[in-house]
Structure 1
Amino acid sequence: VKLEEERFGATLTVGLNKLDELISASLDPKTGEVIVPTLDLARLYDTFGTPIDLMYVVLSQGNYKLAHRVRPFDHGDLRPFYFMIGTESVIQEGFAKGIERLTEENFRKKIEDQLKDLQKSDIEKQTAGSKRIKPAYVALARRHDTKSGFRGYETTKVDDAKVVALIKGDDEVQSLNAGEEGELVLDHTPFYAESGGQVGDVGRLSSPPATAGGNDFLASVVDTYSPAQGLIVHRIKVEKDILTVGDTVSAEVDVEKRDATRRNHTATHLMHAALREVLGTHVKQAGSVVAPNYLRFDFSHYQPLTRSEIEEIENLVNYHILRNEPVETNEMAVEEAMRSGAMALFGEKYGEKVRVLSINGVEDIFSKELCGGTHVRATGDIGLFKITSDESIASGVRRIRAITGVDAFERFREAEVIVERVASGLRTSRTELPVLVERLQEELKKARREADDLRMKIATGTAGSSSNGDESRDVAGVRVVAREAIGLDAAGMRQLSDTLLARIKSGVVILGRKGEGKASLIVRTSPDISKRVPAGQVIKDLAPIVGGRGGGKPDMAEGGGNQPQKLAEALEASYKIVERLLG
């Protein structure tokens, strides 16, 4: 309950901030009026989950107008109608008619209408969008005999597929010989063409059973895609014999990969529904990849998923998998599908007829989306579901990767092996392993702190040594210490410079260290001489000696280079640099 309250509170906070930004952006500087588009309010609800009733309350507290744009019957332009929050109509100068005041119920209906328009607009954009394609594809698409019939929903193999066209490079050809690669169009095929995030099927072509004992033709199908409406293209490599236009072949999908892809695709729908239930209805798909060995899902959300949220999503998806719920598919018109409450999936291409995938829950439909991909018959076929990563890919967009079936089982088994191996190496039980690892981490941190302290004591203890220029020298009346900080990291070298500067009280400290094929330098000067010997100037003269550069302030500067073998030369030269600056 507490987790639900925290998530709802976060949604309200983000939603209110976005609503305030929208109101501010809707201010007309000339008239001083605030006219808020209902389409933008629908986007707030759709993207950030801002509750409609909360928007109504906020807008009713100010003298705001709402611009509700509708498409009239006589032409295609969007025409605005204006409303205000309340129960009475008013006449206001500047408008020909009275401005209707909306009740909360009417306000909700306006937002829901705009939400449907948004979803329909997404579909129209996806349907209209097309990529530049090969001239050969364009020519094939114009022919009536190249419209491939897709048989992949009911079978993974057909024995009487006719070769309608062959392409090699950019040109149509009449045949492909053994060893050649090309593209193939069949009159009907069980191969699913890449679409809606689902990758294209792979498999093989061979001589049909009726020709057994004759030609031993064989070709591998390495990808399947649809560059134009109704045109399914198979990318192939001929392994044996020759393939000619007009031949009849047996087309067989790689069943193992198809089944794995089906599991991941249905799991994607379950995960989408689970995300909306756990995180909020602002979650909207922004892209996906459905492959045999993983699924990837991009969605709108404003913060990283917590461990508890990930577990809740996994639990919800696996709950529906264990219930073995039937996966139902119905074909209907796009408008009918949208009216039924089905959601449109990003990247899917839609025609006049669409397939609607439904998965029932305990009391109601758990998932209902438009999708032309291939799916399992029942959720139990998925087997297992496991999220493997959650990351940000853009502002307000996150990406989840997950696995199912055998891949999920193998991951669990690998985790078991790792746990058992670590527990055996530490001579403890798996139940005691977390406590032991935590204790060892604390001991390691303590040991590292002690080692750092010891190195610092050693470094500061040798400051008075007379070897390698370690002791301070008198340069024109100024004490100068230039030495190598052996065994210290960058933070340790800075700490040592503080200690040495405090020890000499007035003067200059130059320290250098080697590490990872580089040389690092730090220069410190006491306040009383920082104007005469600016640390930034010293480092600018020193760094080129080790093949680099540096800079900083008058009292502290840092630099380095990629020639650590010249560090001793640079430290020795520092005395002359200080002497020159002192004049």
Structure 2
Amino acid sequence: MILAYPDPVRVVCVGIPVEKLLENPNSDIGLTTSVEFCGGTHLKNVGHIGRFVISSEEAIAKGIRRIVAITGPDAEKAIHRAERMEKRVQALKEKVEADKNLITDRKKYKEVVKEAYDLIEELNPMQLQCWRKEKIREQARAVQKLLDSYDRQAKAAISDKILNEAKELSKTVEDGHKFFVHIFSEGANGKILDSAIKLFKKPGAILALSRNDELGKVVAVAKVDKSLVQNDFNASTWINKVCEVIGGKGGGKEVQAQATGDAIDKIEEAAVIARKFAELSL
């Protein structure tokens, strides 16, 4: 048998002198602590190590885990680095918590979202105490979740506003009207506009528009009752007329269609074209 190391080799035991283990090799005493082959640097005094930081811990095989640690000046740097990161995450958290109206300024909101994302990206490769690194990461993710909750609240507020607007408008539409075109408040998406036009029991043809300055888009949704569908007029042809003004491309069926376009400054013109097309067709 070829030995990789000379005999004898140095063995280190934690808490129990090796000499005591050698007195009775068959004793179970060695199972109560760590008894290891020493393949590392020897120190006359453990105080020479200085600060000791476990930077990572991972599984390398079944039942075996590996830890990586740093000592001395590098450990001190890791500790100070973690302290600075904690302060930055805490400052961001306090800023977000102090400004619940942050979502109303979309530019500022995006900047803060990016700041939280960048903090996590900066943190990931850092050499820190592994437990502290995970704690800081969780704190940063908590800030992201808080920002997400603000965004959901803002979107819910937009939805409520537009649906209430639709409810009030539906009361004013007279029975004799065959079609209705309206520009709703800013910020609606296709789903919200779809819910809004479903609140109208009359007329049979409705086209709704809304501009979203944050995305630089105009959203349009059309609904046409089957009784009003003609060869040259249906929800799809109607929405495509709007696309000629706002750009983009529409899609859908004869009774329901929607589109988005980039020409947000032409939303009023698109509404005029939509009314004229419906007026000439119906």
TM-score (norm 2): 0.49
Higher relative contact order (CA 8 A, sep 6+): 2
The structure with the largest helix share of the pair is 2
Greater strand proportion: 1
